[in-house]
A and B are shown apart, each in its own frame.
Chain A
Amino acid sequence: MNHNSTKTKKNILIILLLVLSCLVVNIPDWVTLPWSYHSPPLKYGLDLAGGVSLAYQIDTTSIDSQNLSPALEALKSNIEKRVNLFGLSEANVQTSSQADSHRLIVEIPGIDDLGRAVGLIGQTAQLKFMGESSLSPEATSTATFADVFSLDTNISGSHLSRSGVQVNPNTSQPEVLLEFNQEGTLLFEKATQQFLDQRIAIFLDDYPITFPIVQSVISDGRAVISGDFDSQSAKSLSAQLNAGALPLSIDLIQQQHLGATLGQQAINKGIKAGLVGLFLVCLFMIGNYGKLGFIANLGLIVYGLITLSLYRLIPVTLTFPGVVGFILSVGMAVDSNILIFERMKEELRNGKEWQVAMELGFGRAWDSIKDANTCTIITALILFNPFGWTFLSNSGLVRGFAVTLLLGILVSLFTGVFVTRNLLRVLAKQK
């Protein structure tokens, strides 16, 4: 008995420490602390934060199956670069494949202009290196820029392996560095031979971004564009070069735009509904089980704190259905308690002492709790689709729901059994 009570004390201490750390994780932003600390923020999905979601069908007819997977990877990273170029670093770009059908999904939270988003992703940026042609003096006066640089070096964005910014040690001017891949290195060497002391213009989407003079033959696949750059314009050019051309063409099949105000309304309504429901559940538990119900409610509060902390720490991206999953899981969280309390009542009716009845109740109900929750976990896992199986849904909405449901079940097993049991043991001792 003595041994048991020290164990209970230890467990209660663990619970208190856990609650305390959860409270620290959940300190709201409007509380000003004497030291610099910010609790990890809750992450909201597109439907709550507002933003744009686009789905593209990828045209893979021009490519053989061997090169498909690197091409898809390159497409994804190019689109990512394009989106990031516009300062939208929160964007989420992913490809999904099913049989012969390949899709690109771009989610950009917080932007309110669908047309602009479509424009900046859909543009078929093409990088070209064009050599200067020698025109007669008469022709030069009327020639357009494209006429002057009409000799294609056959180097394109796909030959560029990287672009970066460096500072010239002699002039302290920023420069843009180009690094070519193997094939690009050869082509570039040839081009610099051909156009030595002439200009090579670099076009992005048929728009000339720079036209440096070739000062020497370059055979190591590294080129430096120097000019009137400040660090900002050098960075932006390098980013544009990195974004390059798309290796595969894409076709827009789904657009979604959600205003941020709708999301805020939904969050507020969800919180209100959750609180009212929670109040009813607490009332119901106390009405039905008295003191036991009160302990279960304490467990429910611990449950809420732990789940919220996990949302912040993992972090879980909260969506509309995710909020519903959370609210639903609150209703399910007391299930273990109800099972246990009903068992306890039975044992009490059989004439057992309160404390014995409690321990028996927990012990006997455990089998049912375990089996029943395993079933819910199985379904939640199928919904969550952790391995990204293509014959199941990959929808962010469905997964958002599944993840809160799954977390809810796991946490409720802990609070419903471990937390309430130890709280009840304390209560039993005071009797």
Chain B
Amino acid sequence: MKLRPLFLTISLICISASIFSIFKWGFHPSIDFAGGSIWEISLPSQPSSDQVSDIFISQNISLISLSPDSGHYTLKFQNIDQQQKINLDTEFRQLDADFSQQRFETLSPSLGKELLKKTISAIILSSLALFLFIGRRFKDQAFGISAVLAMLHDTFILIGSFSLLGHFFGAELDTLFVTAVLTTLSASVHDTVVTFDRIRELRFKNFKTKWVDLANQAVSETLVRSVNNSMTIIFMLLSLAILGGDTTRWFAIALLVGAVLGTYSSFAVAVPILLFLKKKES
């Protein structure tokens, strides 16, 4: 635990970077949160982007983005109703007789607010359940508090990192990101519990040893396991992020960031907080 100042610095840098990015650049919410439409179509005659966006102007639908890729177009625009969709279909069939569509989604913004509410309640419920479980399991609230604080640390940095990734690489916040955040909660606690278990076990054997020494020993004994286990998860997620295709890429990356943070925080955040709480106790 000589490295505590270093860990503190790393965590502070990550947290401030997250805060900075969230306030400066915000997020790129997907239509899951913001409402709107996403449409993937093929137009083999490859009309220009202007021709495509003219249709939207004529239909009075505000087009948010248009990315053509050799006859394949991904369009994002406002939330529309069934009649507007039929009109669009007709217009595009006129533009290109071989027009075909692969994917269409349209969501009213009200659903986004609901998703946000549900996400927050899931995070609160998970934190509470994990806090209670760990507190009971270790018969010591200090363990529960440190584990949950480390978990919130991970969650916050994960969210912040997606603000940065959104600004620089266009990563969007969607339902899957929410799932990744909640998975990070459990991954974070998973590693912390293994480390805490060892501290408890060592304390059983040497009741008089100082908490700092117990923690040092526990961390050095569990570190290899934590890192090795992270490695196997990183292998799986990395190959998914690289080979798994566009649909799950950001989901895999979010899980990856969460897994790394979870391992890091188990020894670099949870244990120092526990020591801090124990120091106050004595």
A265, A375, A405 — most chain B CB neighbours (10 Å): A375
- From B101, B119, B255, give the contact of A259 (CB < 8 A): B101
Q: CB-CB < 8 A to A257: which residues of B?
A: 101, 103-105
Partner of A321, one of B85, B108, B126, B176: B176
Q: Are B106 and A334 in contact (CB under 8 A)?
A: no
Q: How far is the CA of A115 from the CA of B89 in the complex (A)?
A: 10
Contacts of A395 in B (CB 8 A): 175
Q: Could you tell me which residues of chain B, from 175 to 209, have a CB within 8 Å of some CB in chain A?
A: 175-176, 178-179, 182-183, 185-187, 189-191, 193-194, 197-198, 201
A338 near B228: Cβ-Cβ < 8 Å: yes
Residues of A within 8 A of B175 (CB): 393, 395, 397-398
Contacts of B114 in A (CB 8 A): 98
In the complex, residue of chain A having the shortest beta-carbon distance to the beta carbon of B251: A324
Q: How far, in whole Å, are A67 and B116 apart by their CA atoms in the complex?
A: 31
Partner of B238, one of A115, A277, A320, A393: A277
Question: If A255-B85, A379-B130 touch, does A281 touch B235 (CB 8 Å cutoff)?
Answer: yes
> How far, in whole Å, are A327 and B239 apart by their CA atoms in the complex?
10
Instruction: Give complex CA distance A257, B103 in Å.
Output: 5
A154 at the interface (CB under 8 A from B): no
Q: Which residues A368-382 have CB closer than 8 A to chain B?
A: 368, 371-376, 378-380, 382
B90 to chain A, nearest CB (A): 11
> Which parts of A264-296 form the interface with B (CB within 8 Å)?
265-266, 269-270, 272-274, 276-278, 280-281, 284-285, 288
* One of A252, A253, A259, A392 near B111 (C-beta < 8 A): A253
Residues of A within 8 A of B245 (CB): 265-266, 269-270
- Quick check: is A347 within 8 A (CB to CB) of the other chain? no
Contact A372 B194 (CB under 8 A): yes
Q: A339-B225, A375-B133, A393-B118 are in contact. Are A405 and B103 (CB under 8 A)?
A: no
Q: In the complex, A321 Cα to B177 Cα: how many Å?
A: 11
**A273: contacting residue among B191, B225, B243, CB under 8 A:** B243
A191 at the interface (CB under 8 A from B): no
Tell me the nearest residue of chain B to A288, going by C-beta: B228
- Contact indicator A277/B251 (Cβ below 8 Å): no
Is B244's CB under 8 angstroms from A383's CB? no
Tell me if A253 and B107 are in contact (CB < 8 A). yes
Q: For residue B143, give the distance in angstroms from its CB to the closest CB of chain A.
A: 11
Check A391 against B186 for contact (C-beta < 8 Å): no
With both chains docked as a complex, state the minimum distance between the C-beta of A254 and any C-beta of chain B, in angstroms.
5
Interface size bucket, A side? 35 or more
Cβ-based interface call for A23 (8 A): no
How near does chain B come to A352, taking the closest CB pair, in angstroms? Answer: 16
Among candidates A269, A367, A378, A405, residue contacting B126 with C-beta atoms closer than 8 Å: A378
In the complex the two chains form, is A382's CB within 8 Å of B122's CB?
Answer: yes
Is A205 at the interface (CB under 8 A from chain B)?
no
Is B236 touching A328 in the complex (CB atoms < 8 A)? yes
C-alpha spacing A115/B189, complex, angstroms:
47
Q: Is A92 an interface residue (CB 8 A)?
A: no
Q: Does B10 contact A (CB under 8 A)?
A: no
What residues of chain A lie closer than 8 Å to B133, measured between beta carbons?
374-375, 378
B198, closest chain A residue (CB): A368
B232–A376 CB distance below 8 A = no
Q: Is B54 part of the contact surface with A, judged by Cβ < 8 Å?
A: no
Report which of A252, A273, A368 forms a contact with B240, defined as CB distance below 8 A.
Answer: A273
**Complex interface: chain B residues within 8 A of A332 (CB):** 229, 232-233
**CB of B270 closer than 8 Å to a CB of A:** no
* Contact call A338/B225, Cβ cutoff below 8 A: yes
**Cβ-defined partner of A368 (8 Å) among B85, B106, B193, B244:** B193
Interface string of A327-355 (1 = CB under 8 A from B): 11011101100110010001000000000
Determine the distance from Cα of A381 to Cα of B235 in the docked complex, in whole angstroms. Answer: 25
Chain B nearest CB: distance from A303 CB in Å? 13
How long is the Cα–Cα vector from A342 to B178 in the complex, in angstroms?
33
Q: 25 A-B Cβ contacts within 8 A?
A: A252-B81, A255-B82, A262-B103, A266-B248, A269-B244, A277-B238, A327-B236, A327-B240, A328-B183, A331-B232, A331-B235, A332-B232, A338-B225, A367-B197, A367-B201, A376-B186, A376-B190, A378-B129, A378-B186, A379-B189, A383-B183, A391-B117, A392-B118, A393-B178, A398-B175
Listed in ascending order, the chain B residues whose CB lies under 8 Å from chain A are: 40, 81-82, 85-86, 89, 101-108, 110-111, 114-115, 117-119, 121-122, 125-126, 129-130, 133-134, 137, 175-176, 178-179, 182-183, 185-187, 189-191, 193-194, 197-198, 201, 221-222, 224-225, 228-229, 231-240, 242-245, 247-248, 251-252, 255
Q: Besides A253-B107, A266-B248, A277-B237, 19 other CB < 8 A contacts? A: A122-B82, A256-B105, A257-B101, A262-B102, A262-B247, A266-B247, A272-B243, A273-B244, A284-B235, A321-B176, A324-B240, A339-B225, A342-B222, A371-B193, A372-B189, A375-B189, A379-B183, A379-B189, A380-B186
Q: Which 9 A-B pairs have the closest CB atoms?
A: A379-B186, A331-B233, A331-B236, A277-B236, A277-B239, A269-B245, A259-B102, A273-B243, A280-B235
